[in-house]
Amino acid sequence: MYYEEDVINDLLAHADIVDVVQKYVSLKPQGSDYKGICPFHSDKNPSMSVSRRLQIFNCFACQTGGNAITFIKNYENIKYPEAIERLADMVGYKLPKPQYSAEEKEKIDSGKKLKAVNTDAATFYFKLLHSDAGKPGLDYFTSRGLSMQTIKDFGLGFAPDSYDALYKWLKNKGYGDDILSKSGLFIYNERGVIDKFRNRVMFPIIDNEKKVIAFGGRIMGKGEPKYLNSPETDIFHKSNVLYGMNIARRTRAKYMIICEGYMDVIALHQAGFDMAVAALGTAFTTSHAKMLKSKCDTVYMTFDSDGAGVKAALRAIPILKAQNLNVQSIDLRPYKDPDEFIKALGNEKFKERIEGATNSIMYRAERLSENCNMNDPDGKIAFLEGVARILSEIENELQRVTYTDSICKRWMITGEQREALVKLIERYGNEAYYAKENTVVEYKPDKAEKNPYIKNEKLLLAIICREPEVYNKIKSWVTYNDFSDDIYKEVAEYVFGVLESGQELMPAIISNRYTREEDIDKVNAILSTDVNIGETKDMRSRGITEIIKKLIENSMSKNLNPQLPMDEFIKRKKQLERLRIDL
């Protein structure tokens, strides 16, 4: 799915990137540009720059950049076509119908069929739940305190203890094995076809378009596994789905609640907490965190209070914090999970627990203290070392000092112990700082960018995009044919052509010439390249001269410019030795 280049260019002409970014992040003027906290990595000091003149944003810390569409795409963790549509809605722009390649049309048709199969399966399970055969399932749900309205709202159902009931039902509706075999609802083997879900209460997993994409099923009575999820399919990827988000996305709340299981989400929604979601029996992922960040700034964790729940919470905290989310933990004790808590104490008491939630720093310290024998010197040392590492992660000095005071009061750390703790925090903080200074943590360059010549090509394009006047200084030396990377060569041909014709170069629209996401990302990466090649005019002149020399040397060594006559080739090589470009 894609939109024509002219359409995207016109859309961007109707949008101001500063206005768009400010809907998500607070910006402050700095010279002719704007500065803000980068939402794409754990940024404490504003490292993201937004240019109204160029209509681009970039963060030199994590190497993320691009136009308004790219920003929305990255922030909301959606595809480019969705980001285009989101921007169009934002600025009131009427888009034409998108275009599709033959491959995309085939994939879309297959996806629609898979969603139709799953949605029909959900209808089968729902109807069965309300029949005599589904009484065990309905009794289970009502015994868990669910109302008939809640059962309907979540489309809950029942899978009979049959090897082929669903298969026969769907075959009678006209579905063939070509699509049923891809649905994740059946097991195909040498003995035939078997329904995957049998004797289970069923939880449909629904996307934002209200289509069923997968299922979770809980066994009735004894049996393993207790919970069974659909396998990964063309329309279902666990790491990109949060159960209940199809409803929670419409909440008016300023926060989201993360649970562990289906019943926790459903119980909270029934109690009025319509912002509850859960991961689907898998580790919490960056994709999950980005989905939450697109809806709120604060997340409350309600993972089970047992050992497994604590481990899950501790794993999730850094992932959530990396998206600049404020992470709070709700203490459910003495109850295991939100479902038990709501049944025992009701929604008002749960609201009180939300108000009294513990922030992630204190939560981690609490869990650490539970695993250390505070009456034993070695246990106390282990606790202090662990707490020092937690506190050293806080870059803001005022926050770090405040949390240190709170922890010292809570665990009665005084005198020399406190002094030693403060020194240890400083030491760990310095170690982390120097490690960070010497390591680019979040930016992973592609294989091509490890090539110094291709790095030069990217850098030269980045400089010209920001300072088009540089092109006049280098055009007698460089043509687009001197670029060895195919994408950079195409970008150079476009950029040089625009500048030769005397038109204004608009860097924000360059990526609109591409439809493949990897190509769009590669072009946008040019715009986020650090172009600081020197502080003074002389240093910058020497810097650009070296870039041009290396680029041309590579071009000549690989004969990338075959139109160049041999005598011109020899002459150019001699001139290159004396090259000096003055900016």
pLDDT in tens, 51-70: 999 999 998 788 888 999 99
The tokens of 407 are what?
A: 């922890």
* C-alpha closest to that of 517 among 79, 27, 111: 79
Write b or e for each residue in 387-417: b if 16 or more Cβ atoms lie within 10 A of its Cβ, otherwise e.
bbbbbbbbeeeeebeebbeebbeebebeeee
Q: What angle do CA 89, 92, 96 make, to 5 degrees?
A: 75
> Is the same domain home to 272 and 378?
no
Question: Cα separation of 287 and 293, whole Å?
Answer: 10
> Is the same domain home to 232 and 244?
no
**Residue range 431-453: mean pLDDT, rounded:** 50
3-state helix, strand, coil in the chain (%, to 5): 55, 10, 35
What is the domain extent for residue 61?
A: 5-91
Quick check: 420 and 383 in contact, CB under 8 A?
no
pLDDT above 80: residue 449:
no
Q: Please report, rounded to a whole number, the percentage of residues in the chain having pLDDT higher than 90.
A: 67
Please report the beta strands in 507-573, taking only residues with DSSP state E, as ranges in sequence order: none
Q: Which residues pair with 384 in a beta bridge?
A: none
pLDDT above 50: residue 436:
no
3-class DSSP state of 104: helix
> Is the same domain home to 199 and 254?
no
The tokens of 331 are what?
A: 């203490």
Q: Which pLDDT score is estimated for 575?
A: 77
Please report the beta strands in 339-433, taking only residues with DSSP state E, as ranges in sequence order: 358-359
Q: Which pLDDT score is estimated for 561?
A: 59
Quick check: 531 and 543 in contact, CB under 8 A?
no
**Residue range 243-257: mean pLDDT, rounded:** 94
- Phi and psi of 164, rounded to 5°? -145, 15
- Asked whether residue 96 is assigned to any structural domain, the reply reads no
The CATH number for 12's domain is: 3.90.580.10
Q: Tell me which of 204, 236, 268 is where a domain ends.
A: 236
Q: Which residues pair with 159 in a beta bridge?
A: 200
What's the chain's length in residues? 583
Q: Which pLDDT score is estimated for 440?
A: 35
pLDDT above 80: residue 365:
yes
> Is the same domain home to 251 and 230?
no
3-class DSSP state of 577: helix
Q: Please report, rounded to a whole number, the percentage of residues in the chain having pLDDT higher than 70.
A: 94
Strand (E) or helix (H) holding 99: none
pLDDT band at 229 (very low <50, low <70, confident <90, very high): very high
The tokens of 323 are what?
A: 């998206």
pLDDT above 90: residue 385:
yes
Q: What angle do CA 189, 195, 199 make, to 5 degrees?
A: 135
3-class DSSP state of 47: coil
3-class DSSP state of 547: helix
- Asked whether residue 582 is assigned to any structural domain, the reply reads no
Query: Based on the number of CB atoms within 10 Å of its own CB, is 419 exposed (0-12), middle (13-18) or buried (19 or more)?
Result: exposed
Lowest mean pLDDT among 76-80, 328-332, 409-413: 76-80
Question: Cα separation of 41 and 321, whole Å?
Answer: 9
pLDDT tens for 198-224 read 999 999 999 988 899 999 999 998 889
Q: Which pLDDT score is estimated for 12?
A: 94
Quick check: 137 and 155 in contact, CB under 8 A?
no
- Asked whether residue 583 is assigned to any structural domain, the reply reads no
Q: Which pLDDT score is estimated for 450?
A: 64
The tokens of 115 are what?
A: 């969603």
**What is the secondary structure of 244-310 as a DSSP string?**
THHHHTT---SEEEEESSHHHHHHHHHTT-TTEEE--SS---HHHHHHHHTT-SEEEE---SSHHHH
Say which residues have a Cβ less than 8 Å from residue 420's Cβ, sequence separation at least 6: 384
pLDDT above 60: residue 441:
no
**Residue range 177-200: mean pLDDT, rounded:** 95
> Is the same domain home to 303 and 269?
yes
- Asked whether residue 419 is assigned to any structural domain, the reply reads yes
Question: Cα separation of 286 and 258, whole Å?
Answer: 14
Predicted model pTM: 0.70
pLDDT tens for 458-503 read 999 999 999 999 999 999 889 999 999 999 999 999 999 999 999 9
Quick check: 119 and 236 in contact, CB under 8 A?
no
pLDDT above 90: residue 35:
yes
Q: Which pLDDT score is estimated for 282?
A: 63
Question: Cα separation of 186 and 359, whole Å?
Answer: 44
pLDDT above 90: residue 256:
yes
The tokens of 368 are what?
A: 């650490």
The CATH number for 154's domain is: 3.90.980.10
| Residue 475 C-beta-side C-alpha neighbours within 13 Å | 14
> Is the same domain home to 258 and 289?
yes
Mean pLDDT of the chain: 90
pLDDT band at 442 (very low <50, low <70, confident <90, very high): very low
Say which residues have a Cβ less than 8 Å from residue 444's Cβ, sequence separation at least 6: none
pLDDT above 70: residue 569:
no
pLDDT band at 435 (very low <50, low <70, confident <90, very high): low
The CATH number for 304's domain is: 3.40.1360.10
pLDDT tens for 114-150 read 999 999 999 999 999 999 999 999 999 999 999 999 9
pLDDT above 60: residue 438:
no
Q: Which pLDDT score is estimated for 574?
A: 77
pLDDT above 60: residue 447:
no
**Number of domains making up the chain:** 5
